[in-house]
Amino acid sequence: MKVAWAGSRHAVEVADRMACLVASDPVFRKDTRTMLSRKELFKDTLKKAAHAWKRTVELHLTEEEANLLRLYIDQPGYVDLHWVMFVPAIKGQGTEEQQKKWLTMAYKFQIIGTYAQTELGHGSNVQGLETTATFDPSTDEFIMHSPTLTSSKWWPGGLGKTSTHAVVYARLITEGKDYGIHGFIMQLRSLDDHSPLPGITIGDIGGKFGSGAYNSMDNGVMRLDHVRIPRDQMLMRLAQVTREGKYVHSDVPKQLLYGTMVYVRQTIVADASRALSRAVCIAVRYGAIRKQFGSKAGGPETQVLNYKTQQSRLFPFLASAYAFRFVGQWLKWLYTDVTQKLESKDFSTLPEAHACTAGLKSVTTSATADAIEECQKLCGGHGYLNSSGLPELFAVNLPACTYEGDNVVLLLQVARFLMKTVSQVASGKQPVGTTAYMGNIQHLMQCKSVVNTVEDWLNPAAIKEVFEARALRMAVNCAQNISKAPSQEEGFSELSPDLVEAAVAHVQLIIVTKFIEKLQEDILGHGVKEQLQKLCGIYALHLIHNERLGKLYAQVRPNAVALVDAFDYTDHYLGSALGRYDGDVYSALYKEAWKDPLNETVVPDGYQEHLRPLLKQQLKLSRL
Ligand SMILES: CCCCCCCCCCCCCCCCCC(=O)SCCNC(=O)CCNC(=O)[C@H](O)C(C)(C)COP(=O)(O)OP(=O)(O)OC[C@H]1O[C@@H](n2cnc3c(N)ncnc32)[C@H](O)[C@@H]1OP(=O)(O)O
Ligand SMILES: Cc1cc2nc3c(=O)[nH]c(=O)nc-3n(C[C@H](O)[C@H](O)[C@H](O)COP(=O)(O)OP(=O)(O)OC[C@H]3O[C@@H](n4cnc5c(N)ncnc54)[C@H](O)[C@@H]3O)c2cc1C
């Protein structure tokens, strides 16, 4: 089963080796992490990252090994953004020349990069970002500027105290015209003493949910005051600005601007299956040890795992962990396939890749966050202790429902893709890939389920048909209702809760299908396939529930604020910048951030000891 889970014998071997390397190194200890102050935790993260890099170089680790090393260190930090977003953004949006220049430094850690897209005022609505990059032909430079409070960059990981560089997303303005959002490489801090460069105000945005957890990451705020960068620091694979200031489009689709997000969403599905499996592992093992109540007077007490209620709550999570793992492996393949096609200028599969990564990221991270929380309850009182590992696991994985695209916003993207597909089917076009089932519309709209008994659910063809019929009927129903609305836009907005459900049904079909396809592969080991068949059945069965309360929600909405005002909580008691009575959210958030102890100094404690030597050493090595 280990091989089935990991994907190959090789994967099991490398993972074991890297996990042992981390577990046996005292620098990577994490048992007291939740007791550290924010400053101590941050410094500990700097230390671990520098040590990890030292081991990577000393042991000549491959990329695969180095990634796993970082994974098992299990502490979010600036290196995640550097490798998972900064490097891929330059790879995807930089020209060959730009890649050569910047990636050479990034691969050797001579620079540390982050991905600065989100602002205080806009995260989901990327087109609404306000930071400007105005071309000045007299000096051949862009002037990077934050014109408003809400244009402050807000959230980028590693930005707060660590990153020396960033890919910054800003509105490109040249010859007086706004050409929308583009990516720019900016140096943020001095490579000599780490102080922010002139015109750049930068800091940490403050403590986050839970102790330990994501607080190891210095998510940052940044304001730019007319900071000048050379023209060739605009990422120019998608579009260029000439020396004279002319805007020129490449022949690649503009959606490739969002390519880094497609890449990261795909990796997040793998993260979700890992997090869920950790929670399930804790709850199942503990359930086998924990005993409550005797069966008969004087008889042995019952292992809580034997209670039917415990099983009905826990085993769907166990099945989901496997289901997410297999769909994650497939998604990685899909991403590689799309990337190869893009390299040969075949952009046809990009919309499907976007829909699959967005949908799967959304469904798997939401289910994982809910499941970790439930696992805490499944472990009773002890589950609430930090030492159970569950509070930190929950706190670290909860934001995956928000970062890299809010899960509802992403499902609406899937729904949009589905509505387009339904209309293409109506005009006679045969859908392909994960929407191929929609071509079978005549049958799926009318067929009756052949499922009568629980055993029938172990028949893969029956399972698949039920999920196909459910997904198609929900999508067609939405399309029909939208067509009755005064406009497509109004219909989409009005129907959005139903569209989200239709998107979830489509994504769950993909997960079920990929699980079934996995079962058709050669799976070694006595009884392994049979166990997986049972888990596949459990995963599919537990999803067939539905409740629609949309009409009631609409009736409550007009009074929703008054209904929470009726709780009569003071701002002090509520203790939330977001829940303030007066609604002055942005000013409150901004003010709170500067209170964080990390912001007491501009250059962080730990820089001289860990960060500077790391950067200097890499610089020296490159000059040898
Ligand atoms: C083994 C390794 C182990 C390693 C170690 C382990 C460590 C791992 C750690 C991982 C850490 C990860 C940390 C991540 C940190 C979070 C970083 C962020 O949040 S960063 C910030 C993340 N921020 C967010 O995620 C923001 C979320 N918001 C958005 O993505 C967008 O603004 C939007 C999609 C919602 C709207 O877009 P907008 O343009 O306004 O509106 P429209 O709707 O009109 O779309 C227009 C057209 O574009 C199309 N299209 C859209 N997207 C894509 C795409 N990706 N692609 C392709 N196409 C796309 C769309 O279909 C449509 O096409 P058509 O119909 O015209 O043909
Ligand atoms: C831990 C963490 C790390 C992050 N790291 C980075 C980073 O490294 N770099 C970076 O650039 N960003 C980063 N982000 C920012 C992140 O990408 C955004 O928070 C995310 O994209 C959501 O945007 P938002 O915060 O603006 O949410 P909003 O869009 O303001 O969402 C608020 C609510 O409105 C709803 N909503 C919004 N639009 C719609 C719509 N059209 N229809 C229906 N409902 C809607 C949402 O569902 C949500 O319930 C990080 C965030 C977190 C929490």
Q: So what's the pLDDT on residue 578?
A: 81
State pLDDT tens for residues 470-503: 999 999 999 999 999 999 999 999 999 999 999 9
- Which listed residue (65, 373, 392, 404) is catalytic? 404
Cα dist from 530 to 1, 235, 270, 281, 524, whole Å: 11, 51, 24, 20, 11
Mutational test site, ligand 1, from 68, 70, 182, 258, max ligand atoms within 8 Å of CB: 258
Instruction: Give residue 546's pLDDT band: very low, low, confident or very high (50, 70, 90).
Output: very low
The full 3-state SS of 182-205, as one line of letters, equals EEEEEECECCCCCCECCCEEEEEC
- Alpha-carbon gap, residue 148 to 55, rounded angstroms: 44
Average pLDDT rounded to a whole number, residues 13-19: 94
- Per-residue b/e over 581-597, b at no fewer than 16 CB within 10 Å? eeeeebebbbeebeebe
The CA 418 to ligand 2 mean position distance, Å, reads 23
What token pair was written down for 474?
């929900």
Average pLDDT rounded to a whole number, residues 107-122: 97
- Alpha-carbon gap, residue 23 to 49, rounded angstroms: 15
Q: How many CB atoms lie within 10 A of CB 440?
A: 16
- Alpha-carbon gap, residue 606 to 85, rounded angstroms: 24
Q: Pick the residue with more confidence: 544 or 164?
A: 164
What's the CA angle centered on 358, arms 354 and 360, to 5 degrees? 120
ipTM above 0.90, yes or no: yes
Binding-site annotation, residues for FAD: 118, 157
Instruction: Name which residue sits closest to atom 23 of ligand 2, judged by CA.
Output: 123
Q: So what's the pLDDT on residue 622?
A: 78
Mutational test site, ligand 1, from 56, 126, 219, max ligand atoms within 8 Å of CB: 126
The yes-or-no verdict on residue 547 having pLDDT over 50 is no
Instruction: Give residue 104's pLDDT band: very low, low, confident or very high (50, 70, 90).
Output: very high
The CA 183 to ligand 1 mean position distance, Å, reads 14
The bound ligand whose nearest atom lies closest to the alpha carbon of 169 is 2
Percent of the chain at pLDDT > 70 equals 96
What is the number of residues in the chain? 624
Whole-structure pTM value? 0.94
- Alpha-carbon gap, residue 249 to 113, rounded angstroms: 26
Provide CB contacts within 8 A for 83, sequence distance 6+: 67, 70
Question: What 3-state class would DSSP assign to 489?
Answer: helix
The amino acid that residue 405 corresponds to is: G
Average pLDDT rounded to a whole number, residues 370-375: 97
Q: So what's the pLDDT on residue 561?
A: 64
State pLDDT tens for residues 60-87: 999 999 999 999 999 999 999 999 999 9
The CA 265 to ligand 1 mean position distance, Å, reads 8
The yes-or-no verdict on residue 545 having pLDDT over 70 is no
Instruction: Name which residue sits closest to atom 28 of ligand 2, judged by CA.
Output: 124
Q: How many CB atoms lie within 10 A of CB 569?
A: 14
The CA 338 to ligand 2 mean position distance, Å, reads 26
- Asked if 304 and 287 touch (Cβ cutoff 8 Å), the reply is yes
- Asked if 388 and 376 touch (Cβ cutoff 8 Å), the reply is yes
* Domain pair 92-250 / 260-542, same fold: no
State pLDDT tens for residues 550-571: 655 566 576 666 677 777 776 8
The yes-or-no verdict on residue 549 having pLDDT over 60 is no
For all residues of the chain together, what is the average pLDDT? 92
Q: So what's the pLDDT on residue 620?
A: 82
Average pLDDT rounded to a whole number, residues 28-56: 94
Q: Measured from the CB, is residue 258 less than 6 Å from ligand 1? A: yes
CATH superfamily of this structure's domain 260-542: Butyryl-CoA Dehydrogenase, subunit A, domain 3 (1.20.140.10)
Radius of gyration of the chain (CA): 26
The bound ligand whose nearest atom lies closest to the alpha carbon of 163 is 2
What token pair was written down for 508?
């769950």
Residues with CB under 6 A from ligand 2: 81, 115-118, 122-124, 155-157, 214, 219, 399, 402-406, 408-409, 412
The yes-or-no verdict on residue 1 having pLDDT over 50 is yes
Pick the CATH number of 92-250 from 2.40.110.10, 3.40.50.150, 3.50.50.60, 1.10.533.10: 2.40.110.10
Average pLDDT rounded to a whole number, residues 596-611: 93
Instruction: Give residue 612's pLDDT band: very low, low, confident or very high (50, 70, 90).
Output: very high
Name the packing angle between helices 407-426 and 350-378 (round to 10°).
140
Q: Measured from the CB, is residue 342 less than 6 Å from ligand 1? A: no
Q: How many CB atoms lie within 10 A of CB 619?
A: 15
Ligand 1 atom showing the smallest separation from residue 416 Cα: 65
- Alpha-carbon gap, residue 224 to 198, rounded angstroms: 9
Let me know if 468 is a catalytic residue: no
Residue 459's beta-bridge partner residues?
none
The bound ligand whose nearest atom lies closest to the alpha carbon of 220 is 2
The domain spans of the chain are 92-250, 260-542
State pLDDT tens for residues 565-592: 777 776 877 678 888 889 887 888 888 8
